[in-house]
Amino acid sequence: MGQEIEAVRFSPEDFAVFSDRLQDEMVLLETWFRSGSFSPRDRMGGFELEAWLVDRQERPAPINDVFLKRLDNAMVVPELARFNVELNDHPQHLWGTAFSRFEASLGETWQQCVRVAEELDTRLVMIGILPTVREEELSQENMSDLKRYRALNEQVLRLREGEPLRLDISGHEHLKTSQQSVMLEAATTSFQLHLKVHPDRAVRAYNASIIASAPLVAIAANSPFLFGHDLWDETRVPLFEQSVSVGGLAGASHGPLRRVTFGSGYARGSLLECFQENAQHYPVLLPMRFNEGLEQMACVRLHNGTIWRWTRPLIGFDYDGIPHLRIEQRVVAAGPTIVDMIANAAFFHGLMQSLMNQEVPPEQQLPFATARDNFYAAARRGLDAHVRWMGDERGVLRNLVVERLLPMARSGLEQLEIDQADIDRYLWIIEARVLGGQTGADWQRAAAARCGHDLTAMTAAYRERQESGRPVHEWDLHV
């Protein structure tokens, strides 16, 4: 979905042409998987960070077109809403000082963005859901002026046969509302992690990412509030899943698989299974016509970009044109600080490496349904969630992280030959956050309670502490 498209409305012929082209690409993709055509160059990591532009009252500032023009940095691009932007960075080899390099590079881009925002009398905030965003601000008028977003909105509503998108989230409080556009999705900003994988290890990597989703979403939780309601620790999860829902409509006996989903199961033989599921079970949303050859996988990649698994397989290309496989992990919220997010990335990559190298594949020890239940429990209750682990071990997630998963992450980072100073620094941040019981979500709730649930004051205090650069476990609660 990062690519711009040429049309907003499509004809029946467009859908027919796209579907035929998609099937042709799928035939070629099957030969790639059978013949081992994917790049063996692996152990590369990357990320995407979505952020908010806010005004002096901590309200969304819908000026990303002006901001991006002034910034003039090709690595920072628009997002769905006019008050969101996305920061990208060049991938890094996962060895040595990779995470320190990530932190320095992202920090440099972030500071450039902060300076330009200040010139426009705005501020930049990285947070899962902006607590001050109002429902009426998530309107089509605030949609970025790109055809792909307007086309996506039109096609989702077409598949829903005009039914509004309904939001129904029960957490600490209950929120129920509806919208006539996909702009609810714009309230969910994340720190998406990418891992380029060896084709022989792709299935293990994909399944490991699924298993790691529960502890990862809990340690990184940073989205408790939406429209003034206190909901889940990571309210992005139900919000995103419901904001582009085209499955299971009211009155229908069945529907297509949901487009934002934890998935339907582990991969078994190859990641081809995910792309086959895409082609067989998900209606086409954006039937663009492409002129390039089938080997560019334009239709396969665009269709995959309109299906948002929390762990999503991606096809990309190396510098020399050889196709490669990546795993995109989408559960991590933006913020609270750059160092917090890089610590989350270090935990993820270390835990992934450790899970992938277990003699008995962990997907053989933890049923997919259990991994899925763990994920939703962790998104709802954070580190206090009760989960099941391998060997039918049960307990509170925070204890599992400290006693089992942090040592596994450390071992995985050592296997990746990450410098000891990086391992110690970033995993200590995770350990201190978990032991201290102060994730971003925890801090937001506690700070809101201290200021009489004044979410504007709380957001201002959050932004000020974010600007200090100190990790969230060190933040005080004075508002």
pLDDT of residue 247: 54
pLDDT tens-digit readout, 180-229:
899 999 999 999 999 999 999 999 999 999 999 999 999 999 999 999 99
Residue with tokens 């600007």: 467
- pTM of the predicted model as reported, rounded to 2 decimal places: 0.96
pLDDT of residue 5: 61
* Residue 6 pLDDT > 80: no
Residues near 428 by Cβ (< 8 Å), separated by ≥ 6?
Answer: none
pLDDT tens-digit readout, 29-42:
999 999 999 999 99
Report the percent of the chain where pLDDT is more than 70. 96
Distance CA 345, CA 357 (A): 18
Q: Report the mean per-residue pLDDT for the chain.
A: 94
pLDDT tens-digit readout, 470-479:
999 999 998 8
Token representation of residue 255? 């529907």
* Residue 441 pLDDT > 50: yes
Residue of 275, 264, 267 whose CA lies nearest to 364: 267
Residues near 293 by Cβ (< 8 Å), separated by ≥ 6?
Answer: none
Distance CA 255, CA 324 (A): 32
What 3-state class would DSSP assign to 340?
helix
Q: Given pLDDT bands bounded at 50, 70 and 90, which one contains residue 161?
A: confident
Every domain of the chain and the residues it spans: 12-471
pLDDT tens-digit readout, 249-274:
333 333 457 899 999 999 999 999 99
Q: Which of the residue ranges 154-168, 291-305, 351-365, 424-438 would you say has the lowest mean pLDDT?
A: 154-168
pLDDT tens-digit readout, 337-388:
999 999 999 999 999 999 999 999 999 999 999 999 999 999 999 999 999 9
Residues near 118 by Cβ (< 8 Å), separated by ≥ 6?
Answer: none
Structural contact between residues 451 and 458, judged by C-beta atoms closer than 8 angstroms:
yes
Token representation of residue 132? 């001050």
Structural contact between residues 431 and 398, judged by C-beta atoms closer than 8 angstroms:
no
Distance CA 312, CA 419 (A): 29
pLDDT of residue 72: 97
What 3-state class would DSSP assign to 399?
helix
Token representation of residue 453? 């649930």
pLDDT tens-digit readout, 261-308:
999 999 999 999 999 999 999 999 999 999 999 999 999 999 999 999
pLDDT tens-digit readout, 56-115:
999 999 999 999 999 999 999 999 999 999 999 999 999 999 999 999 999 999 999 999
The kind and range of the H/E element at 349 are helix 338-356
**The CATH number of domain 12-471 is 2.30.110.10:** no
Let me know how long the chain is.
479
